[in-house]
Structure 1
Amino acid sequence: MNRNALTAALLVAVLGTVAVTGCKKKEPVAPAAPMPTTTEPAPMPAPTPAPATAATATVTGIDLGNTIGADMKVGTPATTFAPKDTIHVSVATSTSDPAASVPGKLGVRWTHLDSNQVVSEDTRDVTLTGTGNTEFHIAKPDGWPTGKYKVEVMQDGNVVQSREFEIK
């Protein structure tokens, strides 16, 4: 073969290869994977503190008597009084947390049951801490009518305890 024929044959082979390669269906190119980003994780929110349970106060008992001590407790509990006695009621209270101060209102209503008449009412703003006593009293220098009476103890406007007594 001569050199020109060989060159021509090679040229045809190369052009055929290029033509076949150029006509070949192109494969779709996969999209590039997103580059991972490095971000700091969001800070955790501060824990929400549990709501503090508010301390509460409770009337734990009442005593009636005709004398009262410095500790606001009656000297000798009684349910029968003389017409000219001063009648004391000692209201015992306690708070759910002994160190907490619990504001509120304590009150008493004295009623003559025989006539269904309120003879006295008294309400006080108080701040209670731990255990303690609050004193209320009634007196009538010219004497109470004989009969049956009742004292109702109220905490924040609600009757929480009561006691009946008699004047003879």
Structure 2
Amino acid sequence: MRTKRWHLALGVGLLLALATACNFSATTANISSLKIGKDKDVSSEASNFAPTDTVYAVAAIANVPDKVKVKARLLSDAGPIPGAETTLDMPGSGTAKFNFSPSPEGWPKGKYKVEIQMLNDDGQQKDQKTAEFTVS
């Protein structure tokens, strides 16, 4: 019985050593939160905006071992809004802040969403969050 335990412990130890030697990385990088509001720090979340309001988004990027790109875009029921897309390079975990200003005519009334994507150096999406709001 002791021999079996010893072999099991040895096997697990060898697997751990092999994983470490191969630079094994199990990342749980994620967008831990997304808030939208009417001020740049989103001190108070909002879900209803006037046609002339600037929409601010704050995304918390967590557990990032290396640099990532954080892409934000604004979508309406009809799809992505042209020109309402921004990408930030982040050196690691932190806060990504975005703002979307209306045209001089204002936002058309309707339902919208802010979409945040986290991409690695290869452009692969690692996480995504959305927040919905209404312009009335």
Q: Do the two structures share a fold, i.e. TM-score over 0.5? A: yes
The answer to whether the 8 A contact 2:73-2:80 is kept is no
Q: CA RMSD in A?
A: 2.3
Q: Which residue of 2 aligns with 1:135?
A: 97
Please give the residue correspondences for 1:56-135 in structure 2 after superposition, counting only pairs within 5 Å: 56=27, 57-69=29-41, 74-95=42-63, 102-113=66-77, 115-119=78-82, 120-129=84-93, 132-135=94-97
What letter corresponds to residue 67 of structure 1 in structure 2? D
Q: Please list every run of 5 or more consecutive structure 2 residues that lacks an aligned counterpart in the other structure.
A: 1-16
Q: Please list every run of 5 or more consecutive structure 1 residues that lacks an aligned counterpart in the other structure.
A: 1-46
Larger Rg: 1
> In 2, distance between residues paired with 1:117 and 1:152?
10
Q: Which residue of 2 aligns with 1:50?
A: 21
Q: Report the CA distance shift for 1:127/1:54 in structure 2 as closer, same or farther (over 3 A).
A: farther
TM-score if structure 2 supplies the norm length?
0.70
SS of residue paired to 2:108:
coil
Structure 1 residue 141: Cα displacement = 5.0
In the comparison of the two structures, how many residue pairs are matched? 111
Q: Report the CA distance shift for 1:146/1:106 in structure 2 as closer, same or farther (over 3 A).
A: same
> In 2, distance between residues paired with 1:95 and 1:117?
29
What letter corresponds to residue 103 of structure 1 in structure 2? K
Q: Deviations over 1:53-111 (max 9, x none)?
A: 44743111100001023xxxx11001111111110110011116xxx5x2011001101
Larger % of strand: which? 2
Give me the identity figure in percent: 29
Please give the residue correspondences for 1:2-81 in structure 2 after superposition, counting only pairs within 5 Å: 50-54=21-25, 56=27, 57-69=29-41, 74-81=42-49
SS of residue paired to 2:21:
coil
> In 2, distance between residues paired with 1:155 and 1:117?
17
Relative contact order (C-alpha < 8 Å, sep 6+): which is higher?
2
The answer to whether the 8 A contact 2:57-2:97 is kept is yes
The answer to whether the 8 A contact 1:55-1:95 is kept is no
